[in-house]
Structure 1
Amino acid sequence: MNKHNNNDYISTYKALEISNNGDQVYKEYNVAKEATFDLIINDIKIASILTSPSKIKELGIGYIVCEGIAKAHEIKSIELEGTSINAQVENSDDVELWQELRSSGCIGFRWENSEEITIDSNTLFHYYNVFNTTTYLKSGIHSVTRGTHLAALIDSRGNLISSCVDIGRHNAIDKVVGEAILNKIELSSSYLLSTGRQSAGMVLKVARAGIPLLVTKSAPLDTGIDAAIRTGLCLIGFLSTDKMTIFANEDRISFTTNGV
């Protein structure tokens, strides 16, 4: 698993703990850090993103791809300058339209208009390998702060490719996708493992990246299931060591007795 530098994620504070019997004691608490970065595309400010202050370039790339602003090959450059993520992409008209929709409050149109998203992948994932990846959901950062989410990219054999931690479940997905794009990893033969609830916004991020399977230890929402059905993404929820539930497109899961 990727090693995370705790200094990027954690601040320490002294706080007063009170028990129900009235006992009081000061303790040190590890608290998840939060920072704001502006995403600027073709000189247009698209978003201010609250995030853990790490892997910010990866966040920018993943956000651009997972929000449908541009394809990976359309990103010409991306640089971090202070608290600004400056990117240049092709299809500048689309960027202006995206900014218009966002500023007018119509961004939900882009989230819900998923009929045009089709995942191009014939990869099958064996259910046994999915069960074996529950260990990748654990994060040292979360264990000491209780304030972060994790997203991991897994190959078809159940091996960990990379993982990212962030205070936001959406950001964790953007970061792991952005990291995969930087490392030229084939997303269509991998799947994404998440600790967060799966709404339409989450599912569509993964679908736009071309990832055919999304697995979470948490619950899906109705919009997430509907988006998965429409895009052809297999959505698995409530993953544990002994159970999981397939909510959409179960044909992407293999149940052969000889494994993968």
Structure 2
Amino acid sequence: MKITRQIDAIIYKNDEHTESSEELVSDETTTLIINDTTPRNFSTIPNALEDFATGYLIGEGIIKNIDEISKINIDKTLVKIQTKTKEENDDELVLCSDSSGGWRSKIKVIKKVESDLKVEKDDLIKNIEKLRKNASIWQKTGGTHVAAFVNKDKGKFIVREDVSRHVAVDKVIGAAAKERLDFSKSYIIYSGRMPADMVIKIARAGIPILASNAAPSFSGYTTAEKGNITLVGFIRGNRFNVYTHADRILF
């Protein structure tokens, strides 16, 4: 399936308009069916769907690691998943929708992330620029979010893009899980706000740092504080803000 598509457009600039063409990101409705339950629909770029499915399962707390997946079958944008553990109806979970219409869940009780990871300040500044340079679809269209999973132990910098910030992060979590990287010694850097529903995903995965060029919301801040997650925002040029658990950032 095509990732981008060309369309006709009129470009206006400096009091002049010309006929031209523009490249747009191609988004499709992707359907996840987990253990033959009700379908869950998401607006996604139709690539890296195995990464997306794996990361979604981990971020939603349906599985703890990749070994709990029995099978993933992908037919175009239909993804059928069988897991060795069944999704539980936990009283602490509340189903909701993310901004792209997919099913997400929030939790009342947040388990603290345990990690001794330390990150140099210059690494954050360097990696936000590296993130931009690797955002190939965004460079063509301006229509995606981009996320990277950074693991220094094995020198890994895994990048995925999507129209949904949630799905972009799901994809890098899934890709890292498939490579069996240590989540407690890794962090995610991405383009997007940091509200509670995003920070909860990071907490469930056991990732200690979430960094972005954008801002957190207060719900994201309080969730990170409770979950022992380091929240870094507004990484732009030679600056950034650390909102929670700043001991993981080496100045």
**4+ runs of 1 displaced by more than 6 Å?**
none
- Written as runs of structure 1 = structure 2, the 5 A alignment for 1:81-100 is 81-94=75-88
1:111 aligns with 2:145: no
Change in Cα spacing, 1:157 to 1:42, as seen in structure 2 (3 Å) is closer
Give 1 or 2: higher strand fraction. Answer: 2
Structure 2 SS opposite 1:184: coil
TM-score (norm 2): 0.88
**How far apart in 2 are the matches of 1:78 and 1:235?**
33
Unmatched segments (≥5 aa) in structure 2: none
Going from structure 1 to structure 2, the CA distance change for 1:199 and 1:101 (only over 3 Å counts) comes to closer
- 1:224 aligns to 2:217 (yes or no): no
- The one-letter code sitting in structure 1 at the alignment partner of 2:121 is Y
1:196 to 187, 192, 198: 192
Distance of 2:105 and 2:136 partners within structure 1: 35
Q: Counterparts of 2:50 and 2:107 in 1: how far apart (Å)?
A: 27
> Quick check: 1:142–1:148 contact (8 Å CA) kept in 2?
yes
Q: What is the rounded CA distance, in whole Å, between the counterparts of 1:54 and 1:108 in structure 2? A: 19
| 1:136 to 2:130 alignment | yes
Q: Per the alignment, in what secondary structure is the counterpart of residue 63 of structure 2?
A: coil
Q: Aligned partner of 1:30: which letter?
A: E
Q: Which has the higher helix share?
A: 1
Q: AA paired with 2:59? A: C
1:57 shift after superposition = 0.8
**Structure 1 pair 157–135 and aligned structure 2 pair: CA distance change class (3 A):** farther
Hey, what does 1:3 align to over in structure 2? none
Residue of structure 2 aligned with 1:26, choices 19, 43, 50: 19
- How far apart, in 2, do the equivalents of 1:223 and 1:148 lie? 24
What amino acid is aligned across from residue 123 of structure 1 in structure 2?
A: L
1:46 and 1:246, CA in 2 relative to 1: closer, same or farther beyond 3 A?
farther
2:182 corresponds, among 176, 179, 186, to 186
For residue 68 of structure 2, what is the aligned residue in structure 1? Answer: 74
Identity of aligned residues (%): 28
Aligned-CA RMSD value: 2.6
SS of structure 1 residue aligned to 2:207: coil
The worse-fitting range, judged by mean Cα deviation, of 202-211 and 173-182 is 202-211
Structure 1 contact 124–252 (Cα < 8 Å) conserved: yes
- SS at the partner of 2:54? helix
Residue 108 of structure 1: how far off its partner (Å): 10
Partner of 1:258: none
Q: Equivalent of 2:202, from 199, 206, 224?
A: 206
CA contact (8 A) 1:125 1:157 kept: no
Query: What amino acid maps onto 2:33 in structure 1?
Result: I
Aligned-partner Cα distance in 2 for 1:65–1:93: 11
Kindly indicate whether the alpha-carbon contact (under 8 Å) linking 2:46 and 2:77 is maintained by their aligned counterparts in 1: no
The Cα shift of 1:218 comes to: 0.7
Amino acid at match of 1:54: N
Matched residues, number: 243
SS state at 2:200 partner: helix
Q: State the Cα deviation string for residues 22-41 of structure 1 (Å, max 9, x = none).
A: x4321110101101111111
CA offset digits 1:211-248 (Å, max 9, x no partner): 11111011111111111001101000001231110001
Residue 15 of structure 1, CA deviation: 1.4
* Structure 2 CA distance for partners of 1:248 and 1:46, relative to 1, 3 Å: farther
Match of 1:175 among 151, 171, 178: 171
1:65 equivalent to 2:58? Answer yes
- Match of residue 28 from structure 2: 35
**Which residue number in structure 2 is paired with residue 51 of structure 1?**
44
